[in-house]
């Protein structure tokens, strides 16, 4: 058994960044990755970048098959770049295989040819990410039509008829994208409420725009079974069938801890199956940390990167960075146009009895939106009337994915709304909408 100072299980964003940092500090690092198709992690291979590439190509009118081929070229290039970013480091060993804990600080790694090598890690960082959730629907796993989010981006032909199970953010991104490529898209969801976390006026606009793009919604349904290409679902006591070329399951993701051998350790899991960590990402086992989606919380690559910063600060800083410092984390949903949010919306402010002044601006009033030929959407801001601080902003409209970062920084730096209102912006830009939004 070989002793290694640092073992990182998984080649994701936080883990790979930590590996590079530690190696440049002269520390020995072993990175274990079970798939040579996942160098660099989920984001660049099967999630953020490939999906956004396909979304952009749909908007540009690119043929679906050509777009998939271009996406594959991009991910291949990025995967190779990420591999060499670590493998070329003198102090890093990238080891292909599946890791399983034997005890708190020892792992056995099984390679693709069945060989097993054992390692002891002084420090171990679990960075195994998350996997798509497959609901226990009769016939689902036996169907030849079923796709998860990864397989949906690797289709060699555009599905003419696509059923998406799940009207969450991931499901809506795929619904918007495939409808733009020309698929006939139907979205099925268990819940009656559409986007229940968002304000009702925002949700109504999003649903209206998606329906205008060709997406059909069946909400408040119970899927009783799937018979190959046919979905059987019930609503109000009536059974309906829907035949599709492909059926995409977009019902969330779960922590990837299966087959990791956690049962052989003292590492504790939460009731949701995530690895339990404290405010510094430490598990209950000394010198074992968890990074990224496997620990629960927001499943964003930028959160995984910030996880790295927290651990870096413990090992080579003053140890002050904490998970609880992450307040007002922004997010974007890449439907067309994009939905972006940071901080409170009206629903949350009302439920918490927080006083606010509401600012609203229809996107059609923004000159740049007219230039972009997409005046759909609504911008909303909640302002604290006592001190003019921004409590939260919801931006549904073109280029909101860029604007939300400006708002997030303003909130972090406690810049009052009137500063954004009176700022001089270049023209025509979407950011100059702040002049009007914060009036």
Instruction: Name the nearest CA neighbour of 202 among 43, 67, 382.
Output: 382
Check the annotation: does 52 bind a ligand.
yes
Check the annotation: does 139 bind a ligand.
no
Check the annotation: does 166 bind a ligand.
yes
Core vs surface per residue 61-78: b (16+ CB within 10 A) or e: ebebeebbeebeeebeeb
What are the CA-CA distances from residue 24 to residues 27, 90, 213, 388 (Å)? Answer: 7, 9, 50, 45
Alpha carbon distance 395, 388 (integer Å):
19
Which position among 84, 191, 208, 427 bears the catalytic label? 427
What letter does residue 215 receive in the DSSP assignment? -
Instruction: Name the nearest CA neighbour of 299 among 39, 12, 35, 53.
Output: 12
Check the annotation: does 366 bind a ligand.
no
Check the annotation: does 404 bind a ligand.
no
Q: Is 102 helix (H, G, I), strand (E, B) or coil?
A: strand
Check the annotation: does 122 bind a ligand.
no
Alpha carbon distance 124, 285 (integer Å):
10
Whether 191 is catalytic: no
Core vs surface per residue 110-146: b (16+ CB within 10 A) or e: eeeeeeeeebebebbbbbbbbbbeeeebebbeebebb
Check the annotation: does 252 bind a ligand.
yes
Helix or strand (DSSP H, E) at 190: none
Check the annotation: does 317 bind a ligand.
no
Alpha carbon distance 69, 434 (integer Å):
39
Q: How many helices (H) and strands (E) does the chain have?
A: 13, 22
Alpha carbon distance 274, 332 (integer Å):
24
Check the annotation: does 172 bind a ligand.
yes
Q: Return binding residues for FAD.
A: 52, 293
Q: Return binding residues.
A: 52, 166-173, 252, 293
Instruction: Kindly list the catalytic residues.
Output: 427
Q: Return binding residues for NAD(+).
A: 166-173, 252
């Amino acid at each position: 058994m070989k002793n290694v100072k640092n073992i990182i299980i998984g080649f994701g964003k936080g883990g790979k960044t930590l590996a590079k940092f530690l190696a440049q500090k002269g520390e020995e690092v072993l990175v274990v990755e079970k798939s040579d198709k996942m160098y660099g992690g989920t984001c660049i291979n099967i999630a953020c970048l490939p999906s956004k590439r396909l979304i952009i190509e749909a908007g540009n009118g690119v043929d679906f098959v050509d777009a998939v081929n271009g996406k594959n070229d991009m991910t291949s290039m990025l995967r190779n770049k990420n591999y060499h970013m670590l493998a070329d480091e003198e102090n890093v060993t990238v080891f292909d295989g599946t890791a399983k804990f034997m005890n708190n600080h020892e792992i056995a790694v099984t390679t693709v040819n069945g060989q097993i090598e054992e390692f002891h890690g002084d420090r171990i960082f679990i960075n195994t990410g998350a996997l798509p959730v497959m609901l226990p629907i009769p016939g689902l796993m036996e169907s030849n039509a079923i796709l998860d989010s990864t397989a949906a981006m690797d289709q060699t032909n555009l599905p003419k008829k696509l059923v998406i199970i799940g009207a969450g953010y991931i499901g809506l991104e795929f619904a918007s994208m495939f409808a733009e490529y020309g698929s006939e898209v139907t979205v099925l969801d268990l819940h009656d409420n559409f986007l229940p976390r968002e304000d009702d006026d925002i949700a109504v606009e999003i649903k209206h725009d998606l329906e205008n793009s060709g997406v059909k919604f069946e909400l408040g349904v119970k899927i009783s079974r799937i018979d190959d290409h046919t979905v059987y679902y019930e609503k109000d006591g009536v059974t309906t069938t829907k035949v599709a070329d492909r059926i995409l399951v977009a019902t969330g993701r779960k922590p990837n801890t299966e087959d990791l051998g956690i049962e052989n350790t003292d590492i504790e899991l939460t009731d949701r199956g995530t690895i339990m960590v404290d405010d510094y990402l430490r598990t209950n086992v000394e010198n074992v940390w968890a990074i990224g989606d496997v620990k629960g919380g927001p499943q964003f690559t930028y959160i995984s990167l910030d996880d790295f910063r927290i651990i870096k600060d413990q090992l080579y800083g003053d140890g002050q960075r904490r998970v609880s410092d992450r307040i007002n984390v922004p997010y974007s949903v890449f439907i067309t146009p994009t939905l972006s949010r940071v901080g409170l919306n009206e629903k949350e402010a009302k439920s918490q009895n927080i006083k606010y002044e509401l600012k609203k601006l229809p996107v059609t009033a923004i000159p740049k939106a007219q230039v972009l030929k997409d005046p759909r959407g609504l911008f909303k801001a909640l302002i604290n009337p006592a001190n003019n601080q921004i409590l939260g902003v919801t931006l549904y409209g073109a280029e909101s994915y860029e604007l939300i970062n400006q708002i997030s920084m303003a909130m972090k730096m406690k810049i009052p709304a009137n500063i954004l209102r009176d700022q001089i912006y270049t023209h025509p830009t979407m950011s100059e909408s702040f002049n009007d939004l914060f009036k």
